[in-house]
Amino acid sequence: MSDTPAKLWGGRFTGATDPLMDLYNASLPYDKKMYAADLHGTAVYTQGLQKLGILSADELSSIQEGLKVVEKEWELGKFVEKPGDEDIHTANERRLGEVIGKHIAGKVHTGRSRNDQVATDMRIFVRETLTTLLEYLSQLIGTIVNRAGQEIDVLMPGYTHLQRAQPIRWAHWLSSYATYFTEDYKRLKELLVRVNQSPLGSGALAGHPYGIDREFLAENLGFDGVIGNSLVAVSDRDFVVESLFWCSLFMNHISRFSEDLIIYSTAEFGFVKLADAYSTGSSLMPQKKNPDSLELLRGKCGRVFGSLAGFMMSIKSIPSTYNKDMQEDKEPLFDALTTVEHSILIATGVISSLSINKEKMEAALTMDMLATDLADYLVMKGVPFRETHHISGECVSRAEELKLSGIDKLTMEQLQAIDSRFGEDVKDVFNFEASVERRNATGGTAKSAVLKQLELLKKQVKGN
């Protein structure tokens, strides 16, 4: 007899499969990372079979011990893959039969299909991975928030269109990305609720023929509930799409975060300096220090976007219930989850170890950035903002005509020639610290407002 294991579905077929088809069909090279989820699912499923009387207590005990042996082999890297192991389910069941005997092992699949088995494994694996990402993301947010609190007194230009706009706090910039990542954190928790529903006990598509207790299976596998329709249970991959979308949106935020820091690290800006651990040099130019960590974070964003787009094309027109197209869910999802995990850790390392140049940040502040403050000064004297906006613009234009270094260099006579309502107290406008402190409404740049932002972010992550 051949040592090649019999296929789980092979009874109806008499001819040999094209070897290339075997390779094309196999998923073990990438789905074996779900070995623990698959073995856990089988352990609980066989308990459900024992409750039905399909397995005896002794048979269940033998199966449970055998599953532990198989899991240990995977953990120690001693599991021997064999030809015919199409996927992790086939491989585990084949090895279980070798450990405890094929007669007993042959009962573990009773009433179960690979359709509900793979859906269960995927949801367990994704749940555990997303839970890990939640923890790592919490650490990233905490690192940013703590840094913001320590460096709250540093001022820098805020930009629109990459043009200097208004003065802000460095901590306010940090808080902006902590806010993006906190929204990602909250979305991830919501996603976990939808992921954590059990398809097990739905069979191939039509339900379980022996009336297995699906609620028992769900509870013992750590699920929050069961998917109520067996057709949906085996074919739903919305949780994969949502996971890929979440990964894509998070990576979009990471990419923008990276782009800002790349710009700020250039010699032209000089606001930040990356630690050597997250930089590389040039093979030709010895003076170079390249922000490769940030460029890779930015670049891998496209890779994750591609995973989402590719999988959406794979499932856009498949008919109802299970189709083999769905096997294309694993590689893009696994790759995206791994990429995001590494990206969170790298981003945490970058932001925790970079140094800032306070002097350069504050030297980049220019008086023209206070033009809006000049307009606000007149607003407080009762002048309509549309009018003050025009007056302030005239002041900027006049300073440029006179080749002055800033609008603060205009004399009182020159200011009053533009508008007679300017008084001596206008000089108080030309102060960057005062400018950021004036914006003390919720979400603003005032120290009190930024500290309030940071406290809220801490509560939102810690409270969840």
Which residues are known to be catalytic? Answer: 161, 282
Chain centroid to CA 287: 35
Report the C-alpha gap between 212 and 156 in whole angstroms: 64
Distances (CA, A) of 69 to 31, 75, 84, 101, 368: 20, 10, 21, 13, 72
Both tokens assigned to 293: 């960590």
Structure tokens at 343: 């990206």
Q: Where on the phi/psi map is residue 323: left (φ > 0), alpha (ψ -120 to 50), or beta?
A: beta
**Structure tokens that stand for 306 in this block:** 């591609």
Q: What is the CA radius of gyration of the chain?
A: 31
CA-nearest of 169, 113, 70 to 447 is 169
- DSSP class of residue 443? T
- 457 is written with which tokens? 């972010």
What's the chain's length in residues?
A: 464
CA angle 362, 364, 370 (to 5 degrees): 90
Kindly provide the residue ranges of all beta strands, DSSP E only, lying in 179-230, ordered along the sequence: 197-198, 225-226
* Main-chain dihedrals φ then ψ at residue 142, nearest 5 degrees: -60, -40
CA distance 220 to 216: 6
How far the first Cα of the chain sits from its last, in Å, is 58
Classified as helix, coil or strand, 221 is coil
Alpha-carbon distances of 393 from 284, 381, 401, 405, 415, rounded to whole Å: 48, 18, 12, 16, 12
